[in-house]
């Protein structure tokens, strides 16, 4: 099986194109194997790049634990770059079918290679039952969530996948390794949740760290950064256009008004290609 390793701000996946080879028989099991950073290729999961009857390509993503996710913001940027640079859709605008629906991506192409990608991520989902969460509110804003002997004010947003945003004074000091899995699997989130802790520098600039559902701590989360942009508006902590500093680098986010989609702009990087034994 031929594969390509790519990352968006260090949020790395193993990409397999099925345009010219069969779909893996058991992608969930394959995701676990290839994601292992000691005995596999190493990554936060597996992403399949597949033909689509509705768009330039279809994307399926699997977390490192084998669970299938609805969407990956950093991953979809990498799929767009792959389509362009591997001559599957060599144009400045591509469409990709995802679990969130069909997304439109604009490519910044320099000297024939994609330098950055701007994604229309769609409008956020804010009804609690659709996120889904049992937290009160449509949307749940600063809703109380008790984890052990601690209580957090959580703002919940879905970008096709569920996110819990918590504002803190210092993201580096927050015990994400301990509390991330506890919040991810909290009964208030029936389909688990991605957890983000956020420190606000000013209305246009934030710093964040992420515990991703099914993968643990990652260097970046594109859908999570979009959720943070939305949560900042809902809580009055930041503006509609922000720069988010993630451990792997920076993303630009914009949510122009309440009924508008969230736009995300960031890089996509190809690392290497190889063959995985059947």
Catalytic residues, which ones?
72, 221
Q: Is 87 exposed, middle or buried (0-12, 13-18, 19+ CB in 10 A)?
A: exposed
CA–CA distance, 128 with 69 (Å, rounded to integer): 19
* Residues 21, 51: Cα–Cα separation, whole Å: 11
Please state the separation of Cα 15 from the chain's center in Å.
Answer: 15
Q: Which two tokens stand for residue 141?
A: 């804003």
Q: In whole angstroms, what is the distance from residue 7 CA to residue 113 CA? A: 15
Please tell me the distance from the alpha carbon of residue 167 to that of residue 207, in angstroms, as a whole number: 10
Bridge partners (DSSP) of residue 162 are 158
The pairing of strands 2-8 and 269-275 is: antiparallel
Start-to-end C-alpha separation, the chain = 6
């Amino acid at each position: 099986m031929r594969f390509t390793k790519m990352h968006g701000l260090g949020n790395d996946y193993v990409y397999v194109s099925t345009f010219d080879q069969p779909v893996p028989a058991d992608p969930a099991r394959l995701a676990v194997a290839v994601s292992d950073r000691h005995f596999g290729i190493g990554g936060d999961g597996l992403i399949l790049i597949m033909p689509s009857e509705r768009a330039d390509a279809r994307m399926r993503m699997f977390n490192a634990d084998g669970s299938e996710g609805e969407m990956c913001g950093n991953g979809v940027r990498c799929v767009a770059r792959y389509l362009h640079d591997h001559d599957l859709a060599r144009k400045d605008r591509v469409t990709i079918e995802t679990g969130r629906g069909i997304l439109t991506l604009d490519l910044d192409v320099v000297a024939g290679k994609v330098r950055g990608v701007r994604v229309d991520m769609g409008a956020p989902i804010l009804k609690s039952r659709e996120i889904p969460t049992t937290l009160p509110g449509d949307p749940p804003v600063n809703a109380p969530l008790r984890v052990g002997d601690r209580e957090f004010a959580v703002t919940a947003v879905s970008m096709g996948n569920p996110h819990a945003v918590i504002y803190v004074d210092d993201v580096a000091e927050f015990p994400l390794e301990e509390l991330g899995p506890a919040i991810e699997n909290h009964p208030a989130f029936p389909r688990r949740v991605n957890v983000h802790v956020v420190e606000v520098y000013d209305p246009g600039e934030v710093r964040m760290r992420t515990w991703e559902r099914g993968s643990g701590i990652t260097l970046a989360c594109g859908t999570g950064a979009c959720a943070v942009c939305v949560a900042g508006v809902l809580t009055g902590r930041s503006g509609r256009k922000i720069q988010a500093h993630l451990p792997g680098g920076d993303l630009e986010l914009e949510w122009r008004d309440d009924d508008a989609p969230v736009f995300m702009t960031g890089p996509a990087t190809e690392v290497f290609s190889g063959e995985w034994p059947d």
